[in-house]
Amino acid sequence: MSASPRYAVYWAPDADHPLWKAGCEWLGRDAASGWSAAHPREHAGEPRRYGFHATLKAPMRLREGVSVQDFFGAVSRLASSNASFAMPQLEVTTLRSFVALRPAAPIDAAHPLRQLADACVRELDALRRPPTDEERAQRLQSMAFDAVERANIEDFGYAFAFDRWQFHMTLSDSFADADGTWRDRLMTEARQHFAHALAAPLRCTGLSVFVEPSPCSPFQLVRRLPLGE
């Protein structure tokens, strides 16, 4: 496994929005400040490591010859070329085998959030280092992907892009191999925990760059890049 950092472009609520505070408290870690809870919540270890976010461009290593400054410059240009917009209403629900925040109503391909996600995948992919054969094999074996998702992995390094992309902010570990007791309890707790934050108006005002400094280390929010007006 390569020891080089991985960089990701995520959506995260503004630092002063109650949803950011609520999400960090729920996971027990603030990826921007470095704060960690003394006794973090059970069943949220994996999302805690990644930090509170929604994926736009999945974690990637930089291609040989691409500097960190090149990467930040590309993300900044992409951000400034897109106008800020109102986010869809979010709710606590499930996606596949985990609890997550997701839009309460479907968003179509013309929605600015979907357009932004598609642009991040397409416009930043030239900066991505292709995976090794071992990394590719591990990725393809990690889930039961369909043909479109496997093609997305081959072409863009991430299965859930474009038509397969679904906005979500992960709140739990997978419950695929567990009974539903802790999932149901966690969903009840999450709905209570996030109720106030989800009632506040929410906008997408920027792109957030997260970095994984070394394999399996916690992701850090290192820069917020504003969208255009």
The whole-number pLDDT of residue 53 equals 98
7: enclosing H helix or E strand: strand 6-11
The whole-number pLDDT of residue 213 equals 97
Closest-CA residue to 227 (of 30, 52, 12, 16)? 12
The set of residues, in sequence order, having a beta carbon less than 8 Å from that of 16 and lying 6+ positions away, is: none
Rounded Cα–Cα distance for residues 60 and 29 (Å): 22
pTM given for the model: 0.95
Q: pLDDT tens-digit profile of 47-64?
A: 999 999 999 999 999 999
Q: Indicate if the pLDDT at residue 202 is higher than 60.
A: yes
Count other Cβ atoms within 10 Å, centred on residue 115.
13
Residue linked to tokens 């991430």: 158
The whole-number pLDDT of residue 138 equals 80
The whole-number pLDDT of residue 143 equals 76
Q: pLDDT tens-digit profile of 109-152?
A: 999 999 999 999 999 999 999 988 888 888 888 778 999 999 99
Higher pLDDT, residue 3 or 98: 98
19: enclosing H helix or E strand: helix 18-27
Rounded Cα–Cα distance for residues 217 and 186 (Å): 25
220: enclosing H helix or E strand: strand 220-226
